[in-house]
Amino acid sequence: MQQVEIENQHHSLDEFKAALSLTEAEWTKLRCLARNRCRVGRPGEEDEVLQDAIYRVLEGKRRWPKGLNLFAFLSGVMKSIVSENRKIGFRRNIDRDIEVAADAASQDTSAADLVLESEIVTYVMALFEDDPEAEALAEGIMEGWEKDDLLGLFNGEVTRYETVRKRFRRKINAHPEIKSMIHGE
Amino acid sequence: MVNEKMSKIDRLAEAINEDILAMTPEEVLQEAKVDGEDTLGFAKAMETWLQQAIVQANGSRLRNARAALERDQERSKDNVVPIGKREAKPRPEGFAPDTMAARNGKELSERDKAALEEDFDDLFDDDAWGDGEDETDQ
């Protein structure tokens, strides 16, 4: 009975394979998502992590929940893979739930992680030294502000907010290997 | 609501993740090309890899299923408690069942014949009926 419910809540393997008939732009989008996930944990390994995520689903180790966008799903799997690599041994059975995996990864705040995070935050903020609007946006995002709060930085002007947000994202994406830039790895 | 469990780096990654998810295919391609990426080459490489990965994953799933089945069978063996065969008890000497089934549905036994005759005797025994009882209706 429980197995039937699980089957009903997830896409079949055939549906997943069919959904992977992607266009050039869609593959590129997946690579962008992978690069974002790998920025700190596995810099430069986005192709491997993307393939690993897809392979886990093909093997039946991860299942694609119905109602969840394919890109959001694979991005979540990649997040889980990267955090798994960073903190081997911390997760038993939580691979089943992407959100739980995310929380567990964040909870594991070892001293080394805190130092690394502090270095990365400093580095990220330094990227926006000559762009006060993007700097304020980056700070707000890292403090966990909601969109309404972030819009407040731009007096509620949506277009200005979106322009700066795009600039912010482009700048970060131009530095996909932040960790290696800091440590020279 | 701020998710206190997330680190600053996690929040940064989530914000960029949302932005990428919201991008149109055209925007994605345009930005990648501006960055000098070989998007077509990457897409083709992934398609080739995918075909191989599907074959490999099918094999892996089959092996896992077989292993699970073998484990299951091993476990089943452990759970089975053998039941000893019951030996047929010898019948008392001289015992001969006298049932319709034992006679295979044929002929009456001597005992049945005797019982039948006794029933007929009772039926045709005039003394068994009281005098004039049948004449009351006339």
Pairwise CA distance, residues A79 & A104, whole Å? 12
State which residues form the domain around B30. Answer: 7-37
Partner A contacted by B121 (CB < 8 A): no
The answer to whether B54 contacts chain A (CB < 8 Å) is yes
* Lookup: tokens for A150: 């972030």
Residue A79, both tokens: 């997040």
pLDDT, tens digit (0-9, with 9 covering 90-100), for A116-141: 788 888 888 888 999 999 999 999 99
Nearest chain A Cα to B17, which residue? A33
> Is A181's pLDDT higher than 70?
no
Look at residue B21 and tell me if it is in a domain. yes
Complex ipTM, two decimals? 0.78
Integer Cα distance of A137 and A145 in angstroms: 9
**Chain B contacts of A50, Cβ < 8 Å?**
46
B3/A144 CB distance under 8 A? yes
Instruction: Write out residues 144-163 of A within 8 Å (CB-CB) of B.
Output: 144-146
Look at B2 and A143 and tell me if their CB atoms are within 8 Å: yes
Task: Look at residue B83 and tell me if it is in a domain.
Answer: no
Query: What's the pLDDT score for residue A179?
Result: 62
Q: What was the pLDDT predicted at B129?
A: 66
User: For residue B113, is it within any domain?
Assistant: no
Q: Give the burial class of B106: count Cβ atoms within 10 A of its Cβ; 0-12 exposed, 13-18 middle, 19 or more buried.
A: exposed
For the segment A98-125, the average pLDDT, to the nearest whole number, is: 69
Residue B92 — very low, low, confident or very high, per pLDDT cuts 50/70/90?
confident
In a domain, B120, yes or no: no
Task: Name the residue among A17, A36, A124 with its Cβ closest to that of B17.
Answer: A36
Is position B19 within any domain?
yes
Q: Which of A27, A74, A139, A158 to mutate to test the interface with B (most CBs of B within 10 A)?
A: A27
Q: Does A36 touch chain B (CB under 8 A)?
A: yes
B71 within a domain of the structure (yes/no): yes
SS3 state at A155: coil
Q: Which residues of B touch A55 (CB under 8 A)?
A: 53, 56-57
Q: Phi then psi for B41, rounded to 5 degrees?
A: -60, -40
Q: Is the pTM of this model over 0.80?
A: no
- Measured between alpha carbons, how far is A79 from A62 in angstroms, rounded to an integer? 13
List of chain A residues whose C-beta atoms are within 8 Å of the C-beta of residue B13 = 36-37, 39-40, 79
